[in-house]
Amino acid sequence: MASVPMPEFGTWQKRISNNAAGALLLFTLLHVTCFTALAGYSRSSLVSYLGITILVGLVIPALGRVEGRWHGEALRGLTEADLNARFRTERVRLWGAAIALPFVWSGLFLGALLAFGQFAG
């Protein structure tokens, strides 16, 4: 099996970058929608700021690491089939996280709001 030359590897970098950008856009839309709803429920703008902090502090650096795995020498020498399999796996992880994480975090925060509301009341 022949390894994939670097000029061809550039297309894999572009493909993962495009998927990361799309997943980030979807994540951001869902995240803002969920946390805006939570802020209205809790009658506190602090929840909205906390949602933005999660976005900037956790998600964007994580996407940088995902893209970093596809740049440089990390995947040099892999066959086209290996690159394709890794790309499919990475793409499923990206889009799965983009869809699931806003709802998971919103559920956790809603649970915390309800728990603290129960204790305070």
pTM: 0.78
Q: What are phi and psi of 44, to 5 degrees?
A: -140, 130
Cβ–Cβ < 8 Å for 78, 86: yes
Q: Is the dihedral of CA 26, 99, 9, 76 positive or negative?
A: positive
pLDDT digits (tens, 9 = 90+) for 7-43: 455 688 889 999 999 999 999 899 888 888 877 776 7
The region that residue 66 occupies, defined by phi over 0 for left and psi between -120 and 50 for alpha, beta otherwise, is: alpha
* Confidence at residue 18, expressed as pLDDT on a 0 to 100 scale: 93
Q: Between 116 and 67, whose confidence is greater?
A: 67
Separation of alpha carbons 58 and 78, rounded Å:
30
pLDDT digits (tens, 9 = 90+) for 45-66: 677 777 778 777 888 888 888 8
